[in-house]
Amino acid sequence: MLFNRRGTVRARIALLLGGLLMVVAFACGSDDVQTQVVVQTVVVEKEVPGETIVQTVVVEKEVQVRGETVVQTVIVEKEVQVRGETVVQTVIVEKEVQVRGETIVQTVVVEKEVQVRGETVVQTVIVEVEKEVQVEKVVVATAVPALMSADGSVRVPPQGHFVLAEQLVVPPVFHPALAGGGLEFSYYNWGLVDYPLFIDKDNLSDPDISLWTSWEVASDLSKLSFTVREGVQFHNGWGEMTADDVAFSYNAAIREGSRFYGLTSLDWLDRIEATGKFTGEMIFKEFNPLWVQIVSNASTHQPWIASKRVFDEKGEIGGLDTAIGTGPYKAISWAANERIVLQATGDHWRVVPKIETFEVVEIPEPLAMQAAFLTGEVDIAPIPNSMIKDTFASLPGSTIERIGKLDNQTIHFTGNYWLKGPLTHRSDSSAQFPREGYTPDADHPWIGDIDDPESMERALKVRTAMIMAVDRDSILRNIFDGFGVPEATWTGFMPDDPQWKPEWAMPAYDPDGAKVLLAEAGYADGFSFEFFAPSGVKTINDEAAFAAAQFWREIGLDPQIDNGTYASGRDRRFDGVDNIVRMHHIFTGDLDREKAQGLGNVQAYHGHELPRDILEIALSNRTEKDYSTRIQNNVALTDYITSWRLFLPLSATSTNYMVGPKVIDWVPHLNTQPFFLAPWTVEIKN
């Protein structure tokens, strides 16, 4: 390092000074006074009078503490000015101490002022001193930040380990076009991959902590140009991320025949082209004003940045389980439906995690998960709401962390496919009305014939009766233990929103009134129907479905419950096949987002297709720039949906994770999905 001030003073300065976590340490306690022998070596370099002097001191100490050896190294830098000027001296101390079988490294920073006299050109002094000192052992540490990561976190080596429980450990399916399970956002949540943009806690896109360092939308809204951050590495030596990887990831997700779960949310995107190694263009079919959220960590079901090289070299199937990305954690082992072990990369450009390793273990059974949490086998767990309070009371020091936005547990009366003309279909481009599942007959009394007003009215009475038969307040109290609200529209509006309308509220619990409506619709003796209530999905509460089914039985209906896996009934959600009663969910989300993608604008996965004039209102939110107008469009959509009672929202509930006493900090970034995320923020007790 060179200093210029009427001359040059050269000094060899330890470069580690800026990168250490600095700790001030001292000790006290009468029982632990020890004697230590200090051997001190001093090397001094000086120059002419009035100039700055840099002095380096190296001290080695060997201390006996209850039979244990403590080696202490001191590096001293002195900046000395001659003739009475102030000298600032910095001392770095490292200690290696054995404490309960663990090694502790401590660093000490000391500053003091020294007066120097005399004029010596260059002097080297070697001093050895042997002396006895008293050492007291209690340590008080104060952290002083050193090197910082892009997100503002202290760049220190990660350490420690924690265990996360989840109901499902998803398989590694790292090709976007083949990722159709719906839980691939776990790859980001667990720190394996990154999205193009990172939205911070203030809901602002920040280029300093994003893979895209800059972007600009064309004046005609036809495309945007972006620049990719240089130097970002894929795990395990798979090379530097480039614009080709960005283009590959998105183009694969939206290609013809893609099974990517979030495909329908990207229908506004035509393609991405790499225009240089670190530059590219996102070409729009139509401009979507919410594109920033869609390609960021604030959303789910969007493509992550995958390695093109992996699939070039291994092929699509061969590279499918190559679980790599650009995130702050890399996979060490991966056993789907069992356990994943992840390790901090240690050199991530955005953030260095506080924890070196963590595990994700699958525990699908709630009581088993609760037991594992209470015994300390797992540190963080999504305990069901009905068990949260008991769990909290049983483990002192534990805390409750809410994750995601409210999740509307909703029953869908599917089969009301009222959209005429050309229809979307995954394999039949010539699909037309009517859909396969459009069966407005006596076996499906909740489905109305769009061309028969009397049929529409009868089906409305049946759906309303099924709503009135269910005590939603009871379900909120007894199934969700009060963690939520009993009233929310399918589009996400709640009673405390300024746009709320009284007519949006669900009919009150009235089993006698429900029987009257059934009789008026021609079903005084009730009817039997299939009720799909999938098991093993954290976002769909089958206990709430069982409770609703019991309420229906009390008014003479006969629900036949299918409690199979979600996967067993997923495929029929698409292309207008569903014509059953289905338990599902919908996140309340942002009130200005497009809400009808699954109601006919893109697909029919919510079990209904609305008339085209209603869909066009919802569809306009893709291009509408004005926030208040987008809100009003969704108000109009809500008016239509609630007037026909197409859904039964049971409760809008929160999802909570129990956090064990070992964890002292965790700051999950709030997004839509109620799943663990941001392991890089977890901090545990030593």
Q: Annotate 288-302 with DSSP letters as a single string.
A: -TTHHHHTBTTSSS-
Rounded Cα distance between 346 and 330, Å, is: 10
Taking only the tens place, the pLDDT of each residue in 132-186 is 434 343 434 343 344 455 555 555 678 899 999 999 999 999 999 998 877 888 9
The overall average pLDDT reported for the chain is 81
Is the distance from CB of 177 to CB of 262 less than 8 angstroms? Answer: no
- How much is the pLDDT for 619? 87
Taking only the tens place, the pLDDT of each residue in 450-468 is 999 999 999 999 999 999 9
- How much is the pLDDT for 173? 94
**Domain 161-398+660-684 has what CATH class?**
alpha beta
- How much is the pLDDT for 111? 41
- Which DSSP helix (H) or strand (E) runs through 567? helix 566-570
Taking only the tens place, the pLDDT of each residue in 514-539 is 999 999 999 999 999 999 999 978 78
Q: For residue 646, give every residue at least 6 positions away whose Cβ sits within 8 Å of its Cβ, in sequence order, or none.
A: 412, 413, 416, 463, 490, 608
Beta strands in 319-430 (DSSP E): 329-335, 339-344, 357-362, 380-381, 399-413, 416-417
- How much is the pLDDT for 94? 43
Specify the range with the lowest mean pLDDT, choosing from 328-337, 353-362, 545-554, 617-626: 617-626
- How much is the pLDDT for 18? 32
Span 376-405, average pLDDT? 93
Specify the range with the lowest mean pLDDT, choosing from 214-223, 275-284, 588-597: 588-597
- How much is the pLDDT for 126? 36
- 252-286 b/e (C-beta count within 10 Å ≥ 16 → b): bbbeeebebbbbbbbbbbbebbbeeebebbbebee
Span 322-348, average pLDDT? 95
DSSP assignment string, 422-485: B---SS-TT-BSSPTT---STT-TT---TT-HHHHHHHHHHHHHHHHTS-HHHHHHHTSTT-EE
Span 290-312, average pLDDT? 91
Span 637-659, average pLDDT? 94
Domain ranges of the chain: 2-144, 161-398+660-684, 411-654
Does residue 327 or residue 105 have the better pLDDT? 327
- Judged on CB neighbours under 10 Å (0-12, 13-18, 19+), 200 is middle
DSSP-based three-state secondary structure for 366: helix
DSSP-based three-state secondary structure for 414: coil
Rounded Cα distance between 520 and 512, Å, is: 13
Taking only the tens place, the pLDDT of each residue in 351-385 is 999 999 999 999 999 999 999 999 999 999 999 99
Rounded Cα distance between 48 and 261, Å, is: 72
- How much is the pLDDT for 155? 54
Q: Is the pLDDT of residue 603 over 70?
A: yes
Predicted confidence band of residue 562 (pLDDT cuts 50, 70, 90): very high
Cα–Cα–Cα angle for 178, 179, 183, rounded to 5 degrees: 170
Tokens representing residue 573 in the block: 């959600």
Q: Which long-range contacts (CB under 8 A, 24 or more apart) does 445-448 make?
A: 445/521, 445/522, 445/523, 445/527, 446/413, 446/415, 446/416, 446/529, 446/581, 447/413, 447/415, 447/416, 447/579, 448/416, 448/418, 448/644
- How much is the pLDDT for 164? 98
Taking only the tens place, the pLDDT of each residue in 469-498 is 999 999 999 999 998 888 899 898 999 999
Is the distance from CB of 581 to CB of 569 less than 8 angstroms? Answer: no
- How much is the pLDDT for 119? 38
Q: Is the pLDDT of residue 91 over 80?
A: no
- How much is the pLDDT for 659? 97
Q: Is the pLDDT of residue 670 over 50?
A: yes
Rounded Cα distance between 200 and 292, Å, is: 12
- How much is the pLDDT for 154? 53
- How much is the pLDDT for 601? 83
Give the number of C-alpha atoms closer than 13 A to the C-alpha of residue 615, restricted to the C-beta side: 18
- How much is the pLDDT for 551? 98
Q: Is the pLDDT of residue 33 over 50?
A: no
Predicted confidence band of residue 298 (pLDDT cuts 50, 70, 90): confident
Rounded Cα distance between 463 and 441, Å, is: 14
Does residue 561 or residue 429 have the better pLDDT? 561
User: Phi and psi (nearest 5°) for 598?
Assistant: -90, 10
Span 607-633, average pLDDT? 92
- Which DSSP helix (H) or strand (E) runs through 608? strand 608-609
Predicted confidence band of residue 335 (pLDDT cuts 50, 70, 90): very high
Is the distance from CB of 177 to CB of 315 less than 8 angstroms? Answer: no
Q: What are the C-alpha distances in Å from 566 to residues 219, 264, 297?
A: 44, 19, 25
Rounded Cα distance between 163 and 240, Å, is: 30
Closest by Cα among 407, 535, 562 to 476: 407
Span 49-72, average pLDDT? 41
- 136-165 b/e (C-beta count within 10 Å ≥ 16 → b): ebebeeeeeebeebbbebebbebebebbbb
Chosen CATH of 411-654 out of 2.30.22.10, 3.10.105.10, 2.40.340.10, 3.40.50.11260: 3.10.105.10
Beta strands in 167-277 (DSSP E): 212-217, 223-228, 269-274
Beta strands in 183-328 (DSSP E): 212-217, 223-228, 269-274, 279-284
Peptide linkage before 434 cis (omega within 30 of 0): yes
Beta strands in 302-384 (DSSP E): 329-335, 339-344, 357-362, 380-381
Q: Is the pLDDT of residue 112 over 70?
A: no
Rounded Cα distance between 602 and 108, Å, is: 62
Closest by Cα among 501, 553, 562 to 527: 553
Is the distance from CB of 645 to CB of 460 less than 8 angstroms? Answer: yes
